[in-house]
């Protein structure tokens, strides 16, 4: 599978999809810490707020929004914490390898700017895409970074509350249409995702339905997901949706991903 993926990369036929696991390796706050911050700003005990919201971040963010009238205070905290000036992106081997491998198109569900900072650090050109206007700026042979769930530079684009998530499920925004178009002729590699993440599972389901309805499902390019925890049940479901798991078992997920990206780079 690794050699096949490497060949597809040589042909510029792989889209990279980056999840929160990549940002976690930089030491950024977890969603648990974000919930604790919401509780603090609302004057609640975090355990009580979590219990009321059934540990569902989207519900709690929705409640926060209605209590506060906006996400402004939380959004400001997130921007500060997610972009800690003490973080040296040059020390992140994962980001370095992503830049060096040279994916033509990168989608990310992360809000933070560390992918962009990595490209800036290594002096590589890229185009950041957060809305329909940005799509018109695409240049041939220039890597694209598509902020699929929003970006801190555009508050209205951020998918944080339950309502914004439900709106995202329509799968009909300009970025969704772009993804459908991009994925018609390219494979997708997912890294930094957990199989318990409903975002990724729903997206895979929608892409599968798109191919089934096209009547050309037999022409669908293979796609791949990097995993560190084997799970035969979920792996089987992934395969039914056209996604091939590549499993690297190591105690430290970040080290496993680094090894995977190094192995992939060797093939190029």
Domain boundaries, given as residue ranges, for the chain: 2-27+89-267, 31-82
Alpha-carbon distances of 264 from 5, 6, 185, 189, 251, rounded to whole Å = 8, 6, 21, 12, 20
Of 219, 225, 185, 218, the closest CA to residue 203 belongs to 225
Give the pLDDT confidence of 163-211 residue by residue, as tens digits.
Answer: 888 887 777 888 888 988 888 889 999 999 877 777 777 777 878 887 8
Q: What angle do CA 88, 78, 29 make, to 5 degrees?
A: 60
State the pLDDT confidence band at 101, using cuts at 50, 70 and 90: very high
Q: What is the DSSP secondary structure assignment for residue 69, as one 8-state letter?
A: S
The 10 Å Cβ neighbour count of residue 189 is: 25
Helix (H, G, I), strand (E, B) or coil at 108: strand
pLDDT score of 17 more than 90: yes
With tokens 């925890």, the residue in question is 229
CATH number of the domain located at residue range(s) 2-27+89-267 in this protein:
3.40.50.1220
Residues 221 and 13 sit within 8 Å (Cβ to Cβ): yes
The sign of the torsion formed by the CA atoms of 84, 88, 89, 93 equals negative
Residues 120 and 127 sit within 8 Å (Cβ to Cβ): no
Give the pLDDT confidence of 219-259 residue by residue, as tens digits.
Answer: 788 889 999 887 888 788 888 778 889 999 877 888 999 99
Q: Where are the alpha helices (DSSP H) in 186-225?
A: 198-214
Give the pLDDT confidence of 87-97 residue by residue, as tens digits.
Answer: 999 999 999 99
């Amino acid at each position: 599978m690794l050699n096949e993926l490497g060949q597809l990369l040589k042909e510029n036929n792989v889209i990279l999809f980056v999840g929160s696991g990549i940002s976690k390796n930089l030491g950024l706050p977890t969603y648990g810490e974000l919930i604790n911050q919401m509780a603090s700003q609302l004057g609640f005990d975090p355990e009580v707020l979590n219990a009321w919201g059934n540990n569902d971040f989207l519900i709690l963010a929705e409640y926060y929004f209605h209590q506060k009238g906006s996400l402004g205070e939380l959004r400001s905290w997130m921007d500060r914490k997610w972009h800690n000036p003490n973080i040296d992106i040059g020390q992140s081997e994962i980001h370095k390898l992503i830049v060096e491998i040279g994916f033509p198109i990168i989608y990310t569900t992360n809000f933070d700017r560390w992918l962009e900072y990595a490209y800036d650090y290594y002096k590589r050109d890229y185009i950041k895409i957060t809305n329909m206007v940005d799509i018109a700026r695409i240049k041939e042979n220039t890597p694209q970074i598509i902020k699929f769930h929003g970006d801190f530079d555009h508050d209205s684009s951020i998918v944080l509350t339950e309502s914004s998530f439900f709106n995202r499920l329509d799968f009909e925004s300009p970025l969704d249409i772009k993804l459908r178009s991009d994925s018609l002729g390219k494979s997708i590699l997912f890294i930094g995702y957990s199989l318990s993440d409903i975002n990724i599972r729903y997206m895979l389901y929608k892409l599968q339905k798109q191919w089934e309805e096209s009547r050309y499902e037999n022409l669908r390019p293979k796609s791949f997901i990097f995993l560190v925890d084997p799970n035969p049940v979920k792996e089987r479901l992934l395969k039914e949706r056209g996604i091939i798991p590549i499993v690297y078992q190591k105690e430290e997920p970040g080290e496993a991903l680094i090894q995977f990206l190094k192995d992939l780079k060797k093939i190029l």
